[in-house]
Amino acid sequence: MLFCHGFCTALTGHHEGEDRHLFPAIAAAHPELQNTLRSLEQDHSMIAHLITELQSSVTASATPAEPARHLEGIAAIMENHFRFEEWQLLEVLETLARNVDPKRVLGPL
């Protein structure tokens, strides 16, 4: 559970950094990616909701099956999210000017 909590905290911080710093920089340099960025932000919101539900189920001492369901949902969305993000943004990320502290952009990962 300690690993899970740490991972979820790091993942949340990573997504918050992308939403606040990275995605606005990408949008400014590549306005044609607005829909892609909006979709990725929606994924972040959905993952945050699932993490909150996972944490609630653990706090409520739910049966082991309930947290497992939440973890499966998070894993499924994350897998698709990362594939889509890499497919859409990898080239852009390699060329984007890096004038912001990486820890602010990428979170505590």
Count of domains observed in the chain: 1
Q: What share of the chain is helix, strand, coil (3-state, %, to 5)?
A: 85, 0, 15
pLDDT per residue of the chain (109 residues) written in tens, 0 to 9: 667 778 888 889 999 999 998 899 899 989 999 999 999 999 999 999 999 988 888 777 767 788 788 888 899 999 999 999 999 998 888 887 666 666 666 766 5
Q: Could you say which DSSP state residue 37 is in?
A: H
The pLDDT score that the predictor gives to residue 24 is 92
In the block, tokens 């060329």 appear at 95
The pLDDT score that the predictor gives to residue 45 is 95
Domain that holds residue 89: 2-106
Which pTM does this prediction carry?
A: 0.83
The pLDDT score that the predictor gives to residue 98 is 64
Q: Could you say which DSSP state residue 62 is in?
A: -
